[in-house]
Amino acid sequence: MSESSGPAHRPSAVAGPWSVPVLVRERRPRVVVKADLLPAVSVLGTLSLLSFPLAFAWSRLAPPERVRIVAADGTQSPLELESWHRFDDLAVFGLMTLGLGIVVGIVSWLLRERRGPVVLVAAVLGVALASALAMLLGVGWANSHYTIASAPALGSVVELAPRLESWWVLLTGPLGVTISYSLLVTWNGRDDLGRRLG
């Protein structure tokens, strides 16, 4: 068995005819915080104003619960299937805030020069704040809309104002923001999220 007299074969480090030498290594973009703080505060404040139209729309769209007065002291008994509207009120509010969150996530992504986690956090907090304010305002406006002016007669049917009985529904808005924004980040696939306009 003969031994090889030459050096061991090593891969050639010589550049091929079509290779381009890398003179400057491109730096990975870093998260911009300081420059995005003021736009993030603006996003948070603007989104909190959306609580007013959201509350008004819910107070008019959510179905009231119809009950019958069964005693002279005002004891109420819900009509058949009317108690389901307690869930309907919650579902309508949840779908409205989820839709708001999806739209806010897309609009926040369109702020191209401000893309990143700072504006995303501001959008999530802004939708959460708008949802919480809309929950409080909407219940109040619904109560005033379905106010019973005089004492109902025995056997009469009255409509009770819509109500929201769970604070867990406030998670739907931020969920919509994070899902839509995350999908757009994944679809973009660039290190700087396309912040540079060039």
Each residue's pLDDT tens digit, 133-176 = 999 999 999 999 888 777 777 777 888 889 999 999 999 999 99
Token representation of residue 64: 């009231």
68-100: pLDDT as tens digits: 887 777 677 777 777 788 899 999 999 999 999
Strand partners, 69: 76
Q: How far apart are CA 81 and CA 17, in angstroms?
A: 79
pLDDT tens track for 24-33:
556 666 667 7
pLDDT surpasses 60 at 9: no
Neighbours of 48 (CB within 10 A): 18
What average pLDDT does this structure show over 123-142?
A: 96
